[in-house]
Amino acid sequence: MPLIHWFRPPRYLLTLYLAGAVTGVVCLAWLAGRLLAQEQAVESERARAQLEVAADRAVAVFQRSLNELERQALSEDGPLPPDTVAVIADHVSIRSRPAGRLIFVPVVPPSSEVPPGVFTAGERAEFGKAGLASAIDIYRALTRARSRAVRAGAFVRLGRTLRKAGRHTEALQAYAELARVEDVRIDGRPADLIAREARCSVLDETGQRALLEREANDLRRDLASGHWALTRAAWEFVFSEASTWAGPGATTINGLDAAIALAVATDALWQQWQDRPTAGQAVIRHADRPVLAMWKTAPPQISAVLGGREYLETICRQVSIDANAQVALADRDGQPILGRVSGTQATRATADTGLPWTIAVAASHPNRAVAEALARRRLLLTGLAIVGVLILGSSYFTFRGIQRELAIARLQSEFVSAVSHEFRTPLTSMRQLSHMLLEGRVISNDRRGQYYEVLVRESERLHRLVEKLLSFGRAESGAGRYRFESLDAGDLVRAVTTEFRSYASDWSLEISTPSTPCPVRADREMLSLALWNLLDNAMKYSPESRMIWVDLSIDAKHASIAVRDRGIGIPRQDRQRIFRKFERGAQAAESGVQGTGIGLALVHHVVHAHRGEVRLESEVGRGSTFTMVIPVETTA
Ligand code: ADP
């Protein structure tokens, strides 16, 4: 169809409607896009605001925790959280709390004083000609001295000399006694540590594995619990020695790494104090362990509190819970200290918070937030899609409806003009003939007789046409009730064809009916009308042949009345629609055969009212067969 047709009345209505529907859908899509964009913007704005709040809360919780730690460190004997240590130092000494948490320290107490020359005689004997036995006697005598420092020194020397003399059991005994001398330091190391170390060494030398393992493990455990005030170098040396002695049987010591990290950080802090005794806070690292250090100066004293990774993890966890967010810490250079966050994050720098680290905060369940946003978006899209589909669907059906109405309007106007034509032809000839007869212009009796016949035929034709229209009107409106009765289809066929013969006298009708009766329940008048219509059509659409065949056949269930012609035939594409009201075949309209398009609709109506069906076989140019199949009346 050319494009211009869509803009002519009444089609422009359709075009207008379609344009409206399409515009509606486009607007809807645009709206959906806008809504989505807006929703996304609101969503990310809300998430950002939430993060900012969470970051502020995190800062507050950290500040509170650190203040609390400082307060606890300052109170002389209050408890401290796990993995923290409070330290008070001056230039020569250091004290820490809780006891034993620092496993080594930057400064150790001085060695105990021994009067000069006490061991000279013994050493002369030990290293001179007098021999070990005399040295042993001298040292043994000194082990009974009043001074603890002298006693301890004597035991050390006695043990050493006995070892040299190969008297290992006695040496072990001497060291065991040395271990019982308290509060004496020899060469910067506690006497009891020297004793236990020496015992292990003797046990190792004499191959006493079981005892060695036990004593070495005890030594390691005491070293790890900060039993002695040792420098880092001393501690590391003895600990590694003890570990070697313990061998594969060395027991694992929980929290050793954390303790080492605290002690190392304290060492580092001490060094810093020596150079620059100011207040401050920092994160000091040892291996992968960060240690928080906060210190204050009150010359000559400096006090500090240190917290290891476990402590930091505990407060981070607390912050995470309180702020309902993931929390990560980084140092001033951006190096991660603790934790990791994923997704969008809010940060708080050291300069703004006064904390020794930068805080990064992210949503605690970023995936859940994303999933929720996605679900909301999906819901919105589904809703809009449904509305879109509804608009399109209803537009389509409305479009189809309007199209059908337009087609019916067209068919109706064609019908009106077709009916007018059908009426005009007989009316014209009737008018002319009756005028001629009235005016006495027809003198010949024969001619007058012929004219009367024509008048009768034409009025018959008009009558039938009117009958057909009325019956169709009744059938359409459902007003015409069928009056079913038992009758013989053979009788009906014979009656109608006889009447039709006299109507179409110059046509040959070949009728075949079975010899047996053919009982059906039918409305005589309506079924006759339907058969008449088929005969009339066979006549109208057979321009060359003058033959019509009418066949009645019967089987157990059905009676079939077939009307066959050798007319123009019906193309395949028309075979269904010609049964609809006002529909005419394209060929019929072209060949100028008059008609109204209601005959077959009426046939269809009547046959369906009889619970039957109409069958059509046709071949263009060769003819058509219309068969009305209706149920036979059974006696049972
Ligand atoms: P009308 O004959 O008034 O046009 P009908 O409803 O009786 O209306 O028939 C509808 C159409 O079916 C006809 O216009 C014609 O095209 C086609 N038709 C009906 N009967 C025949 C036939 N016997 N041979 C060929 N075409 C037929």
C-alpha of residue 481 to centroid of ligand 1, in Å: 26
570 ligand 1 Cβ < 6 A = yes
Which two three-digit tokens encode residue 223? 């070293």
E-only strand ranges, 255-288: 280-286
C-alpha of residue 609 to centroid of ligand 1, in Å: 21
- The string of DSSP letters for 575-592 reads TTGGGSTT---HHHHHTT
CB neighbourhood size of 228 (10 A): 20
Instruction: Output the residue whose Cα is nearest ligand 1's atom 25.
Output: 569
Instruction: Show Cβ contacts of residue 12 under 8 Å, excluding neighbours closer than 6 positions.
Output: 6
582 ligand 1 Cβ < 6 A = no
pLDDT at 240 > cutoff 60 = yes
pTM across the whole model: 0.57
Using DSSP's 3-state secondary structure scheme, residue 358 falls into: strand
pLDDT at 114 (0 to 100): 86
Please give the share of the chain, as a percent, with pLDDT higher than 70: 97
597 ligand 1 Cβ < 6 A = yes
pLDDT tens readout for residues 266-295:
999 888 887 766 788 889 988 889 999 999
pLDDT at 528 > cutoff 90 = yes
Cα(217)–Cα(196) distance, integer angstroms: 11
CB distance 86 to 80 below 8 Å? yes
pLDDT at 524 (0 to 100): 94
530 ligand 1 Cβ < 6 A = no
542 ligand 1 Cβ < 6 A = no
C-alpha of residue 612 to centroid of ligand 1, in Å: 20
Phi, psi of 362 (to 5 degrees): -135, 160
Q: Could you give the dihedral angle defined by the CA atoms of residues 437, 439, 440 and 444, in that order, rounded to the nearest 10 degrees?
A: -50
Instruction: Output the residue whose Cα is nearest ligand 1's atom 20.
Output: 537
pLDDT at 392 > cutoff 90 = no
284 ligand 1 Cβ < 6 A = no
Q: Which atom of ligand 1 is nearest to the CA of 586?
A: 16
> Which segment, 20-24, 40-44, 517-521, is predicted with the most confidence on average?
517-521
Which two three-digit tokens encode residue 216? 């070495």
pLDDT tens readout for residues 395-419:
888 888 888 888 888 888 888 888 8
Taking residues 98-103, what's their average pLDDT?
91
pLDDT at 357 > cutoff 70 = yes
Beta pairing partners, 486: 521
pLDDT at 480 (0 to 100): 61
CB neighbourhood size of 384 (10 A): 17
* Amino acid residing at 307: G
Q: How confident is the model at residue 2 (pLDDT cuts 50, 70, 90)?
A: low
Distances from the Cα of 87 to the Cα of 48, 241, 307, 314, angstroms: 41, 28, 11, 21
Q: Which atom of ligand 1 is nearest to the CA of 600?
A: 6
pLDDT tens readout for residues 543-594:
999 999 999 999 989 999 999 999 999 999 999 999 998 889 888 878 778 8
Using DSSP's 3-state secondary structure scheme, residue 550 falls into: strand
Taking residues 119-136, what's their average pLDDT?
89
pLDDT at 354 > cutoff 80 = yes
CB distance 120 to 142 below 8 Å? no
Using DSSP's 3-state secondary structure scheme, residue 146 falls into: coil
Beta pairing partners, 509: 548
189-190 and 185-186: which strand pairing?
antiparallel
Taking residues 9-28, what's their average pLDDT?
78
CB distance 460 to 503 below 8 Å? yes
* Rg of the chain (C-alpha set): 61
Which two three-digit tokens encode residue 451? 């004219």
Whats the size of the chain, residue-wise? 636
* Amino acid residing at 329: L
Instruction: Output the residue whose Cα is nearest ligand 1's atom 16.
Output: 585
Cα(280)–Cα(314) distance, integer angstroms: 22
